[in-house]
């Protein structure tokens, strides 16, 4: 699936020639009555202010266009046609665009014509709601965002129609997540779990960057099944300094047989997690979004205010705060792999958050391979200058390996101090390309004190949920 997504990204970029030279879009007209798209549901469900971002403005515009008449335009869903349709609906004011639509009767309508925008919008809405024929758009395109919005609003509308409600607060991409974290610091919000109908990579990245560990669950309402996010800000967070890990003799022995790598087989690690635990919370929808975060790095959209370093005070707004910007970033969603004779025997995915690293989920297929992975990862974090290792919820094996629980307010304070300190997440050059992890573990023990070697130690389960 990710190969298809990456191909679409490339194809979308190749459509720049369409924008420059103009394009003709063949459409089929049909009549259909559609339920109004009630974007205001976002406000009625949300406990936080709904930010009037550029994305929300597009959603409002799209919802308004879809209200007019019953006429719709359908198109052949090629990447080029999708690009042209998006250009007509959302970008037709750009002077470089010279698109037009040709209806079945042969009449031509300019892309700037309100009728073309309306009928194409209604056709797109109808097509998105037809979940039997799933549409795939390039990541971060306006069309992909509208698709996420439509499906989320459809779910919220179903909840409202049947009088259903969640007992935990909702969070959506139109909320300012930093405000939510501040409310946690003030103990205004007590629930450690939130929920969201938006399963999308950039929103998940924002949640992780603010300290939420984000998993998922499947919900079914009146036959409408949807994967929903469950971002968690635990009351007690299990954390440790990398150098505090307890190393067992078994790990030292097995380090001669195992090799550790970083970001070489992210997709295989995701598969290993899914195979080891079943889908659990790592549904195909979540797998795809994690792979987008990993492989499509550099398309990170941000409009969040930053926290002043180590304080509860946020930096003041700027004139450009609500503008959408795309910037290249270091890879934040990463994988750690452990190999035995060219076979993947353990691994995990994690999130790099400044000089704090968060373990998200992992697996192992060989005795002590998981324990080796933890120690080798601790060594890598230590040598790269990471100050804190976030292990998520408290589980006995984490305490056994040297972690301690941290109250939520203290965890948030530590995160705010560390998230803007950039360090590299890589295997130090001295150990890169080594056939095993023996030297890495040995040097780590010398650096932090060899007295940390213990006879026993944690028996790491393949953690499928944090």
Are 121 and 242 members of one domain?
Answer: no
Are 7 and 146 members of one domain?
Answer: yes
Chosen domain end from 150, 184, 204? 150
- Name the stretches of the chain with pLDDT < 50: 1, 10, 14, 17-18, 20-21, 94-98, 298-328, 463-466
Give the residue carrying structure tokens 């046609």.
81
Name residues whose C-beta falls within 8 Å of residue 130's C-beta, 6 or more positions apart in sequence.
Answer: none
Chain centroid to Cα 116, Å, comes to 34
Residue 403, pLDDT score: 95
Q: How many domains does the chain have?
A: 2
Chosen domain end from 125, 150, 175? 150
Judge whether 174 lies within some domain. no
Residue 279, pLDDT score: 80
Are 126 and 256 members of one domain?
Answer: no
Tell me the three state secondary structure of residue 44. helix
Give the integer Cα–Cα distance in Å for 212 and 360: 10
Residue 225, pLDDT score: 82
Are 285 and 407 members of one domain?
Answer: yes
Residue 331, pLDDT score: 84
Judge whether 427 lies within some domain. yes
Residue 109, pLDDT score: 55
Residue 118, pLDDT score: 95
Residue 306, pLDDT score: 42
Are 291 and 384 members of one domain?
Answer: yes
Chosen domain end from 97, 131, 150? 150
What are the helix (H) ranges across 91-218?
Answer: 114-129, 142-162, 177-185, 201-209
Q: What is the pTM of this model?
A: 0.86
Judge whether 363 lies within some domain. yes
Are 250 and 112 members of one domain?
Answer: no
Judge whether 195 lies within some domain. no
Give the integer Cα–Cα distance in Å for 281 and 110: 46
Residue 296, pLDDT score: 82
Residue 262, pLDDT score: 96
Judge whether 444 lies within some domain. yes
Phi, psi of 43, rounded to the nearest 5 degrees: -75, -40
- Both tokens of residue 367? 């005795």
Residue 355, pLDDT score: 97
Residue 293, pLDDT score: 92
Judge whether 300 lies within some domain. no
* CATH value at residue 266: 3.40.630.70
Residues facing 213 on adjacent strands: 232
Judge whether 464 lies within some domain. no
Domain, as residue range, for 280: 234-295+325-452
Judge whether 185 lies within some domain. no
């Amino acid at each position: 699936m990710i190969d298809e997504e990456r191909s679409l990204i490339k194809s979308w970029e190749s459509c720049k020639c369409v924008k420059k030279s103009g394009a003709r879009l063949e459409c089929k007209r049909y009549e259909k009555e559609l339920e109004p798209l009630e974007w205001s549901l976002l406000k009625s469900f949300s406990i936080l202010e709904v930010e009037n971002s550029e994305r929300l403005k597009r959603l409002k515009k799209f919802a308004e266009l879809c209200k007019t008449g019953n006429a719709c335009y359908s198109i052949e869903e090629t990447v080029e046609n999708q690009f042209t349709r998006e250009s007509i609906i959302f970008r037709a004011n750009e002077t470089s665009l010279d698109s037009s639509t040709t209806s079945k009767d042969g009449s031509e309508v300019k892309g700037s014509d309100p009728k073309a925008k309306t009928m194409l919008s209604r056709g797109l809405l109808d097509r998105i709601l037809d979940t039997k024929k799933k549409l795939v758009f390039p990541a971060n395109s306006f069309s992909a965002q509208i698709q996420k919005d439509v499906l989320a609003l459809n779910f919220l509308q179903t909840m409202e129609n049947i009088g259903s409600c969640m007992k935990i607060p909702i969070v959506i991409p139109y909320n300012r997540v930093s405000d939510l974290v501040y409310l946690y610091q003030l103990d205004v919000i007590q629930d450690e779990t939130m929920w969201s109908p938006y399963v999308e990579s950039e929103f998940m990245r924002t949640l992780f960057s603010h300290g939420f560990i984000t998993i998922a669950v499947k919900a079914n309402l009146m036959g409408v099944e949807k994967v929903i996010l469950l971002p968690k800000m635990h009351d007690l967070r299990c954390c440790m300094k990398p150098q505090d890990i307890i190393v067992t003799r078994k790990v030292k022995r097995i380090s001669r047989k195992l090799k550790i790598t970083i970001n070489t087989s992210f997709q295989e690690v995701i598969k290993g997690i899914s195979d080891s635990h079943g889908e659990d919370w790592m549904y195909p929808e979540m797998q795809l979004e994690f792979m987008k975060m990993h492989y499509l790095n550099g398309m990170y959209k941000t409009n969040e205010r930053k926290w002043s370093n180590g304080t509860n005070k946020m930096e003041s707004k700027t004139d450009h705060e609500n503008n959408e910007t795309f910037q290249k970033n270091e890879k934040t969603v990463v994988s750690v792999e452990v190999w035995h004779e060219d076979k993947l025997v353990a691994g995990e995915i994690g999130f790099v958050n400044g000089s704090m690293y968060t373990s998200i989920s992992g697996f192992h297929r060989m005795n002590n391979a998981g324990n080796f992975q933890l120690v080798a990862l601790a060594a890598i974090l230590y040598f790269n200058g990471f100050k804190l290792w976030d292990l998520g919820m408290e589980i006995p094996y984490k305490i056994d390996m040297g972690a301690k629980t941290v109250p939520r307010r203290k965890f948030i304070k530590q995160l705010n101090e560390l998230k803007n300190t950039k360090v590299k997440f890589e295997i130090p050059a001295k150990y890169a390309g080594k056939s095993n992890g023996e030297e890495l573990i040995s040097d780590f023990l010398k650096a932090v004190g060899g007295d940390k070697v213990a006879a026993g130690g944690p028996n790491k389960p393949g953690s499928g949920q944090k």
